[in-house]
Structure 1
Amino acid sequence: MMIRAGLVGLGKIARDQHLPAIDKVDGIALVAVASRNAQAEGVQNYPDLGAMLAGEPDLDAVILCQPPQVRYATARQALLAGKHVFLEKPPGATVSEVEALTALARQKNGTLYASWHSRYAAAVAQAKSWIADRKVERIDIQWREDVRHWHPGQPWIWEAGGFGVFDPGINALSILTEIVGEPITLLSAELEVPSNKQAPIGATLGMATASGAAIDTVFDWRQTGPQTWDIAVETDNGSLLLSEGGNTLRLDGEVQMKAPDEEYPAMYRRFVDLVERRAIDVDTAPLRLVADAFLCGRHCPTAAFED
Structure 2
Amino acid sequence: MIQPDKPLRLGIAGVGKIARDEHIPSIGRTGGFVLSATASRNAGVDGVAGFRALDEMLAGAPELEAVALCTPPQVRYDMACAAIAAGKHVLLEKPPGVTLSEVHDLVDRAQAAGVTLYATWHSRHAACVETARLWLEQRTVTDGHITWREDVTHWHPGQDWIWEPGGMGVFDPGINALSILTEILPFAVHLVRSTLEVPENRSQPIAASLAFAGPGGAEIEADFDWRQKGPQTWDIRIETTDGTVTLSQGGSRIAFDDSAPKPGSDQHVTEYDRIYRRFSGLIADGRSDVDLAPFRHVADAFMLADIKPTAPFVE
For this structure pair, what is the TM-score category when the shorter chain's length is used for normalisation?
over 0.9
Judging changes above 3 Å, is the alpha-carbon distance between structure 1 residues 121 and 142 closer, same or farther for their aligned structure 2 residues? same
Pairs within 5 Å for 1:146-157: 146-157=151-162
| % identity of equivalent residues | 53
Which residue of structure 1 lines up, in the alignment, with residue 299 of structure 2? 291
Alignment partner, residue 80 of structure 1: 85
Are 2:133 and 1:115 aligned?
no
1:187 aligns with 2:192: yes
- Contact conserved, 1:185 with 1:210, CA < 8 A, in 2? no
Partner in structure 2 of residue 264 of structure 1:
272
State the partner residue of 2:94. Answer: 89
How far apart, CA to CA, are the structure 1 residues paired with 2:100 and 2:302? 12
1:68 match:
73
- What CA distance in whole angstroms lies between the structure 2 residues aligned with 1:236 and 1:159? 43
Deviation at 1:277, TM superposition (A): 1.5
Which whole-Å CA distance do the structure 1 matches of 2:216 and 2:180 have between them? 19
1:256 positional shift: 6.0
- Equivalent residue number for residue 32 of structure 1: 37
User: Which residue of 5, 26, 47 corresponds with 1:42?
Assistant: 47
Looking at structure 1, the residues matched to 235 and 109 of structure 2 have their Cα atoms a distance apart, in angstroms, of 36
Q: Deviations over 1:228-257 (max 9, x none)?
A: 000001100001000000000001121463
Tell me, yes or no, if structure 1 residue 132 matches structure 2 residue 137. yes
Matched, 1:159 2:164: yes
| Residues 32 and 276 in structure 2, CA contact (< 8 A), matched pair in contact too | no
Of the candidates 248, 257, 269, which is equivalent to residue 252 of structure 1?
257
Q: Note the C-alpha offset of 1:276.
A: 1.0
2-structure distance, mates of 1:280, 1:176: 22
The CA deviation at 1:23 is 0.8
The size of the alignment, in residue pairs, is 307
Q: Which amino acid aligns with 2:112?
A: Q
Q: Distance in 2 between matches of 1:210 and 1:165?
A: 28
Distance, in Å, in 2 between the alignment partners of 1:210 and 1:174 is: 19
1:98 partnered with 2:137:
no
Aligned-pair CA distance for 1:153? 1.4
Q: Is the 8 A contact 1:7 1:32 kept in 2?
A: yes
The aligned amino acid for 1:225 is: G
Q: Please give the secondary structure, in 1, of the residue aligned with 2:288.
A: coil
Are the aligned partners of 1:241 and 1:249 in contact in 2 as well (CA < 8 Å)?
yes
Match of 2:288 in 1: 280
Paired residue secondary structure (2:111) = helix
Q: What is the letter of the counterpart of residue 175 of structure 1?
A: I
Q: Equivalent residue for 1:59?
A: 64
Secondary structure of the 2:147 match is strand
AA partner of residue 93 (structure 1): V
Matches within 5 A, 1:201-220: 201-220=206-225
- Is the CA contact 2:92–2:118 (under 8 Å) kept in the aligned structure 1? yes
Q: 1:256 to 1:224 in 2, by over 3 A?
A: closer
Offset from partner CA, 1:102-128 (integer Å, 9 cap, x none): 111111111000000000000000000
Between the aligned partners of 1:212 and 1:154, the Cα distance in structure 2 is 40
- The answer to whether the 8 A contact 2:243-2:257 is kept is yes
CA deviations 1:70-123 (Å, max 9, x no partner) are: 111100110011000000000000111111101111111110000000000000
What do the CA deviations read for 1:199-231 (whole angstroms, capped 9, x no partner)? 000000011123321011000000001000000
2:202 is matched with which residue: 187, 197, 202?
A: 197
Q: CA deviation at 1:26?
A: 1.2
* Structure 2, gaps ≥5 residues long: 1-5
**Superposition misfits of 4+ residues, deviation over 2 angstroms:** none
User: Are residue 170 (structure 1) and residue 175 (structure 2) matched?
Assistant: yes
